[in-house]
Homo-oligomer: A and B are copies of this chain.
């Protein structure tokens, strides 16, 4: 037993992202490291009005204990929103979580035993690795290309051995910005049904599409309850509320509710009420369009700066939405090694190796383009490109 405990403690080391976020607080550092939305775009005035209405109308109810599932009006509103994403569900199918991160934690609690195998994209989201590592899961990266994870590879791995679930971020993936193609979404749903494979579909960024058309989620093709869908208000309203949700089949949802109750009883009553009131009284769709327009401009600025300044041996993804792009250097490039120099010169990013649970990927960098303004992006990429050019010499 000591061994298991020691292993877990060893796995639970402070993350690079976490240390990065501390560095971004230093004045003068242009940070492409964090996954922060643009705070100047938060609908602060509308949230303030919604909060004042809740404070004036709900009284003590806003501050009492509540149901673990979340407040009924917000669950109903989310079920309606799910229909616009082509997912048919009822309010009862929705569990409110303390951010999408808690959704990952609850899934770990319900499904994972030590040694259980999780299939992931290559690379995959760092904080999902951390959430699942708490339960001593092991990770099997699946071959992935510019259209996302390759279904045939998922099928072969699911056939070859016992797999607890496939974890996938279909839209503007973290860290690569890649989007899973429509045909592959259908294929994954078909494999899930045929192999009785569970899919965890994590969709925090899907609404942040600044070009192209929305694609239906894998969950929209799920007829047998094999897909668990996670989303959040962190990117469409604001992350500080720590409010997300899970849509799952009744059997899975019942287990998640019990795990949720043990984890924190319920998500903040006040935050849920303020969010619900904001969504009822203000035009969130218009707000999301403004966010998309701004992020699209920032992406374009970063892409243009990279084209102007980066050495020819570097390439990067062309995301159609979200908050991140992914830069690949030559094989000899060591992004972790370069990071110290970058910070000394006032620019930060997340080294790619952190997103590969089984190692490798050290020649990549994740760049966030949602948080810094256009001028800072131009300035920061200029600095970063100079360092990359020196390093690649």
CB distance from A284 to the nearest CB of B (A): 14
Q: Which residue of B lies closest to A1 (CB)?
A: B113
Find A101's partner among B36, B102, B262 (CB 8 Å cutoff): B262
Contact A61 B39 (CB under 8 A): yes
Q: Binary interface profile of A, 117-152, with partner B (CB < 8 Å = 1, else 0)?
A: 000000000010011011000000000000000000
Is A27 part of the contact surface with B, judged by Cβ < 8 Å? no
Interface of A, helix, strand, loop or mixed by DSSP = helix
Contact B264 A242 (CB under 8 A): yes
Query: Are A264 and B44 closer than 8 Å at their CB atoms?
Result: no
Given contacts A1-B115, A13-B258, A102-B263, contact A63 B268 (CB under 8 A): no
Q: Is the CB of B63 within 8 A of A263?
A: no
Please state if B263 and A105 are interface contacts (CB–CB under 8 Å).
Answer: yes
Q: How many copies does the complex hold?
A: 2
* Contact between chains at B102 and A12 (CB < 8 Å): no
Smallest beta-carbon distance A208→chain B, Å: 16
Contacts of A35 in B (CB 8 A): 65
A37–B68 CA distance with the chains assembled, in angstroms: 17
Interchain nearest-CB distance for A59 vs B (Å): 6
A237 to B270, CA, bound (A): 13
The contact string, 1 if C-beta is below 8 Å from chain B, for chain A 234-273, is 1001111110000000000011011101111111111100
> Chain B contacts of A59 at CB under 8 A?
44
Q: Is A51 an interface residue (CB 8 A)?
A: yes
Task: Find out whether the CB atom of A109 lies under 8 angstroms from the CB atom of B130.
Answer: no
Residues of B within 8 A of A265 (CB): 99, 101, 127, 242
The residues in A between 206 and 251 inclusive whose CB is less than 8 angstroms from any CB of B are: 234, 237-242
A18 at the interface (CB under 8 A from B): yes
**Residues B39 and A64 in contact, CB atoms below 8 Å apart:** yes
Contact A262 B5 (CB under 8 A): no
A18-51 Cβ-contact flags toward B at 8 Å (1 or 0): 1001000000000000111101101010011001
Residues of B within 8 A of A238 (CB): 60, 63-64
Tell whether, in the assembled complex, residue B241 and residue A270 are in contact, meaning their CB atoms are under 8 Å apart: yes
In the bound assembly, the distance between CA atoms of A102 and B261 in angstroms comes to: 10
Across the two chains, which residue of chain B brings its CB closest to A49?
A: B55
Q: Assuming the A-B contacts A60-B39, A102-B264, A262-B101, are A65 and B18 also in contact, with contact meaning beta carbons closer than 8 angstroms in the complex? A: no
In the bound complex, do residue A113 and residue B240 qualify as a contact, i.e. CB atoms below 8 Å apart? no
Q: A1-B114, A127-B261 are in contact. List 5 more A-B contacts (CB 8 A).
A: A9-B110, A18-B68, A21-B65, A44-B59, A270-B274
7 A/B residue pairs, CB under 8 Å, sorted by A? A4-B114, A13-B258, A21-B65, A98-B268, A101-B265, A133-B262, A134-B259
Interface positions of A (Cβ within 8 A of B): 1, 4-5, 9, 12-15, 18, 21, 34-37, 39-40, 42, 44, 47-48, 51-52, 55-56, 59-68, 97-99, 101-102, 104-105, 109-111, 113-116, 127, 130-131, 133-134, 234, 237-242, 254-255, 257-259, 261-271, 274
